[in-house]
A and B are shown apart, each in its own frame.
Chain A
């Protein structure tokens, strides 16, 4: 089945979102070729999901044919020369038989596999008699250094949230989905101008649905910690170091960021080894926090941050194409919900620690024994007086009285002697 990003990929310049000025330039460039005036190659530079590849294909539709290579192809020198070198130099007799050569994501060329790739591209640019369009994400990439001067550079900008909302709305209409405008706005905002990711999110959330309501979004998540959820989303959804680091530049306590990331790891990642790997990075991060506190040298925070961000991000095999509802740390909610009870327990531990000359920590370890000791009424009253316990504290320590049946069941679970039959398998 065709993904929505394919299904709704613009086929003409008019369908494109934003970038009116860039499109005007491009149209001029096409016209010049048609008029028999060869032009410098076009280099479209812009962030992911802004429509560079789509534009390249639309440009291609104005020529008689197109040849495309993208980052996933092996771009060794020879390969490039074979495919493009030949295609670009053998020019037919007629101007109207121009083939558009598309080189996608040229700043993605790297490593041994693509050895000589940049050199080859330069050669093609020099020798080609055909129009060429190149695309790239990173305007400052070293790989573009020698390519840029030979090209006409067109900057492609992120789409405005309103344009994204409009685009998503159109999709919903065509798919017969009734969508709460709030949710579309939220998706647009989250995408940070990346239309493709907005469409992916919408598809994950709405495919097969008749209606999508705002309750799908975590209530109020944006209001309490504005940048935090964006950072979490970048960490869990992206593998792009630059993107992650940018999203993490927020004014929040890094230990809070760790808690938020921890909370959402199992919400996003599904495979145990991914969860394990990600949590191992959090564990390492926590050790750096520990070192910072021990030595009061907060330089260690930056290593912790790298573990939380890049470490956790790289723990996934690949990005999950799904919509995940992120949540605030469950532990915090738990702290809030149990505040009164914890307060009582804390007071109780404090009292016992004073009376029995032990620390609160040790006091807590004696609770289970005290609980059993208190089952004897007479002893219970004596100890209650001795420890000067309030009604509430006494009740908490004593625990709920269990009917004798349950007690019996617990007795069936003696230590050491117990034999278990189930054998859990591990591979």
Chain B
């Protein structure tokens, strides 16, 4: 029974982690000393934050790591109170067969300021028994007092050659037949996100015996939601109601988050401009409003309303 390659080839040790050398060497020191401060991992998706946390836990806690490790997501749909209850219940117990316990809390930047303050209190309460690893995409959205209680590690997007190396390793292990340039294309398209790169590789392997550049383009094209393009074109034609319906379908039914929507809208608008479907002058105006609404989504309460508003800026006069 094997999981998707993203899991199958997740590095199990700190040694195996791709890139982030400066961070890994520090983490290894914690392992040597068998102690660690509270940590904060920040950086974009797919650069090794979770992998580093898992590997560190395994190495520092020893063979009983699983019982002493708690993985939680701060944006749990059941609410922040559930998250806090879980932390409390976990921390009340003494570490079993390990020097201390580790709580890995993902997406802390999605917590409200109030919840972050509460978290700070909890971190103080359990300093003797537990260490926290907080993970987030944007450290700017973390309150000062939380940041000051953690050693902060900034994970960088992976370099093209680092991604390519890892893909090559996987391809050899899986005995894939591939054109070397195909891996270059993946490395380029994945924009420093190794998870995405590996997903593209596995999807390509599912499609064809021999992986070529065209295979990669096909994967990326098919994985890209068609609806976003259709939605933008509908708005450009001036049909706001239909465009809005498409937006709702994508967000509500497919569950695409506001941030991902902005991302995809930006990509599609860029593509339309490259193809000449949008005039340059209009393009730069659109980019500006996308940026504006990207910002508003972070400030506002309802990303869908912000995106509906963004769509109105695409309506022709």
Binding site for B on A (CB under 8 A): 255, 258-259, 262, 266-267, 272-273, 275-276, 279-280, 282-283, 286-287, 289-296, 330-331, 334-335, 338, 341-342, 345-346, 349, 353, 355-362, 364-376, 379, 382-383, 385-387, 410-411, 413-427
Contacts and interface: CB of A to CB of B under 8 A. Distances in A.
Interface in B208-239: 214, 217-226, 236-238
B257 interface: yes
A334 B255 CA distance: 12
A289 B302 contact: yes
Given A294-B112, A410-B222, A369 B315 contact: no
A78 B45 CA distance: 72
B252 A418 contact: no
B306 A286 contact: yes
Contacts of A360: 73, 75, 77, 255
A369 B5 CA distance: 11
B255 A286 contact: no
- A-B complex: 8 closest residue pairs judged by Cβ atoms: A368-B223, A420-B275, A369-B199, A289-B301, A372-B203, A272-B315, A376-B206, A283-B309
Contacts, number: 216
B206 A373 contact: yes
A278 to B, nearest CB: 8
A303 to B, nearest CB: 13
A303 B25 CA distance: 51
A415 B164 CA distance: 21
B282 interface: yes
A265 B160 CA distance: 47
B73 A330 contact: no
A366 B312 contact: no
A272 B223 CA distance: 32
A423 B279 CA distance: 8
Interface string B232-271: 0000111011001100110011111100100000000001
Contact of A366 (B1, B199, B214, B222): B199
A360 to B, nearest CB: 7
B317 A338 contact: no
B248 A334 contact: yes
B309 A279 contact: yes
10 contacts: A266-B241, A272-B317, A275-B312, A331-B248, A356-B4, A373-B4, A416-B274, A420-B272, A424-B278, A424-B316
B260 A379 contact: no
B249 A334 contact: yes
Given A356-B4, A369-B202, A345 B296 contact: no
A387 B106 contact: no
Given A272-B240, A283-B300, A369-B200, A341 B253 contact: yes
Interface residues of B, number: 81
A387 B7 CA distance: 11
A255 to B, nearest CB: 7
Contact of B315 (A275, A370, A376, A420): A275
Contact of A276 (B202, B272, B315): B315
Given A272-B238, A272-B312, A424-B277, A255 B248 contact: no
B300 A290 contact: yes
Given A272-B317, A353-B73, A423-B277, A342 B300 contact: no
A373 B3 CA distance: 11
Best-buried of B73, B218, B312 by chain A (most CB within 10 Å): B312
A338 B252 contact: yes
A27 B25 CA distance: 99
A330 B260 CA distance: 22
Interface in B170-205: 195-196, 199-200, 202-203, 205
Given A364-B256, A368-B225, A386 B1 contact: yes
B114 interface: yes
B71 interface: yes
Contacts of A423: 276-277, 279
Given A280-B312, A286-B306, A373-B202, 17 more contacts: A279-B309, A289-B301, A294-B112, A330-B244, A342-B253, A349-B255, A356-B7, A357-B10, A357-B50, A357-B71, A366-B195, A367-B254, A369-B196, A369-B223, A372-B203, A415-B220, A423-B277
Nearest to A418: B275
A415 B301 contact: no
Best-buried of A360, A369, A418 by chain B (most CB within 10 Å): A369
B305 A282 contact: yes
Contacts of A414: 214, 217-218, 221
A421 B275 CA distance: 8
Best-buried of B222, B278, B316 by chain A (most CB within 10 Å): B222
B14 to A, nearest CB: 16
Best-buried of A295, A331, A364 by chain B (most CB within 10 Å): A331
A364 B223 contact: no
